Amino acid sequence: MATIRLQGLSVFGHHGARPYEKEAGQRLEVDLELEPVSDASETSDRLVDTIDYDRLYELVREVVEGQSFHLLEKLARVTADLIIERFPIRRATVHISKQNLGWTTGGRAVITVSRERAA
């Protein structure tokens, strides 16, 4: 079974536990790792038998840019849940990272959440 990965989706959102994070907003990077429920696209070569990457990107933008959460954990969970709900995906793993944490040494925070379709 193929695994679909979308990496480096750069989106801007107003998320954070501190007021200045929500007010100013920040650029987040989102990576998706998805396991489809079917392997039909591997033989059919038809878009209808797989997941439309553009629609996935639109969903990520809808959640990250259209909602606001205190924690990246919640943002990742909502994103994963919506992917499972709207697409024929068996398992969705969402990685969200942010830079510019205000640490003098640099670095970034990365949150990973996985959800599976109920049987």
- Find the catalytic residue in 30, 98, 113, 115: 98
The arithmetic mean of pLDDT across residues 70-89, rounded, is 97
Burial (0-12, 13-18, 19+ Cβ within 10 Å), 89: buried
Does residue 101 register a pLDDT over 70? no
**Model pTM greater than 0.75?**
yes
CATH number at 27 reads: 3.30.1130.10
- Domain residue limits at 110: 4-116
Active site residue 22: no
* Tally of domains in the chain: 1
Nearest CA to 36 among 28, 44, 24?
Answer: 44
